[in-house]
Amino acid sequence: MTHEKFGEKDFQTIIGNLLRYGVWVSLSVAFIGGIVYLMHHGNDIEDYSVFKENDRNIFEVISAVYNGVIQGNGESLIFFGVILLFLTPVLRVLLSLFSFLLEKDYLYVGITLIVIFIILVSVSLGFSH
Domains of the chain, by residue range, sit at 9-41+55-126
Q: Which residue has the higher pLDDT, 45 or 105?
A: 105
- Whether the model clears a pTM of 0.85, i.e. scores above it, the answer is no
Residues 6 or more apart whose Cβ sits within 8 Å of residue 56:
64, 127
**Quick one: pLDDT at residue 70?**
93
Q: How far apart are CA 54 and CA 50, in angstroms?
A: 13
The number of beta carbons lying within 10 Å of the beta carbon of residue 103 is 13
**Quick one: pLDDT at residue 3?**
47
pLDDT in tens, 104-118: 889 999 999 999 999
